[in-house]
Structure 1
Amino acid sequence: MSGPLHLPSLESEVLEFWRRSDIPSAFARRNVDGPRWVTYEGPPTVNGAPALHHVWTSTYKDVYARFQTLRGKRVERKGGWDCQGLPVEIAVERSLGLKNKRDIEEYGVADFVRKCRELVDGNIATFEQVFSRIGYWVDFDNAYRTMDDGFLESVWWQIKQMWDQDLVFEGSKVVPYCTRCATALSSHELGQPGVYREVTHRSMFVA
């Protein structure tokens, strides 16, 4: 036999069977009258193409949700996308060749935000394709996006509820600060590779 051997793609056959039989939706409709088991979908940050760690974390979350569904629980699987924060902004800065906050202001904040939205919109489609291939049956047709007005308003609503209960207060706290970005950093952002490094510095303190 000469020439390449073309075998039918098992993956494509399985995906086509799921689509034709509407398996993900049918699985989601199971146990509509059963006790609820709530899982909060920690949304992936769509600052780039999906990587192996996205597959890992999605698989972990999927196992628990499927297990509870098979136990007769009603598990609602609402997808979501993290569209904001430094990872998205830094990705756009690099694509535009911007170095710091001053460069962003000179470029134009409104135009910069538009570029961030374009980046996110383009990556969401790629994420959905990958998640479909690994059988991650989450409702992405009605997924929330953290940059949408409805989501932002829901956060402000929650803050208002805490304010009304006197749970909001002003205080002082030492936080990491990025001199390049001119903004405070979360512990998660500080823990990303290449962000933080220890240096030896000779200092003198006078009481």
Structure 2
Amino acid sequence: MSVKSSVFKPVVAADRVDYPQLEHAIQYWWDEQNVRQHYLKRNENSDKKYSFLDGPITANNPMGVHHAWGRTYKDLYQRFKTMQGYKQRYQNGFDCQGLWVEVNVEQDLGLKTKRDIEKYGIAAFVEKCKERVFTFSKRQTEQSVRLGYWMDWGNDYFTLSDENNYTIWHFLKKCQERNPDL
């Protein structure tokens, strides 16, 4: 049974906002006006610097709500420092190494043990892991752009890169040289 209220008007479909359509319209306008690019370059000549390196999200699946919350908080701090005139490096990162990527690939391939990976071929398994990382880093980038998370997209760092791995080995070598007993 429907009860009519004398206080509230009924909500009609025409009064409802199409949020995805509105989101796309805003993103289109931002892209058309190069708003993100202007923002990223806003303080490039500033003497004040703020260093913020995004702890990389693991690129093994689409983002979850908890990732979106984290990215929103990170973006908030960077925007605040941008408004204060600080020059920043807006570089996004992707964690490409680790158990979660491997577990997902094992599940996709129906592998149950480490011996199954050896039978499948370690090199082929590593390539499947890389494929997954690049597939989901692209997806997470799309999701992050939809969040309005303004980074220098396309200039991302990937922990699977040679540069990243050689930098880590160089750092460990320097630590060893400074304290050989470690």
Bin for the TM-score computed over the shorter chain: 0.7 to 0.9
CA deviation vs aligned residue, 1:68-111 (integer Å, no higher than 9, x gap): 11011112211111011000000001111111211111111111
Q: Is the 8 A contact 1:80 1:140 kept in 2?
A: no
CA deviation vs aligned residue, 1:137-181 (integer Å, no higher than 9, x gap): 011211111111111111111112212211661xxxxxxxxxxxx
| Superposition pairs of residues 34-183 of structure 1, within 5 angstroms | 34=46, 35-166=48-179, 169=182
1:22 lines up with 2:34 in the alignment: yes
SS of the aligned residue for 1:81 comes to strand
CA deviation vs aligned residue, 1:41-84 (integer Å, no higher than 9, x gap): 10100111111111010001010110011011112211111011
Greater length-normalized contact order (CA 8 Å, ≥ 6 residues apart) = 2
**Structure 1: stretches of 5+ with no match in the other structure:** 170-207
Take 2:142 and 2:111, find their aligned partners in 1: how far apart are those partners?
31
In the alignment of these two chains, the number of paired residues is 166
In the other structure, the counterpart of 2:25 is 13
Structure 2 residue identity aligned to 1:31: N
Take 2:181 and 2:156, find their aligned partners in 1: how far apart are those partners?
30
| TM-score of the superposed pair, with normalisation by structure 1 | 0.76
Take 1:131 and 1:102, find their aligned partners in 2: how far apart are those partners?
37
Q: Is the 8 A contact 1:162 1:168 kept in 2?
A: no
Kindly state the Cα deviation for residue 7 of structure 1 after the two structures are TM-superposed. 7.4
SS of the aligned residue for 2:85 comes to coil
Structure 1 residue identity aligned to 2:171: Q
**Structure 2: stretches of 5+ with no match in the other structure:** 1-12
Q: Which runs of 4+ in 1 moved over 2 A?
A: 4-8
SS of the aligned residue for 2:62 comes to coil
Percent identical among aligned pairs is 36
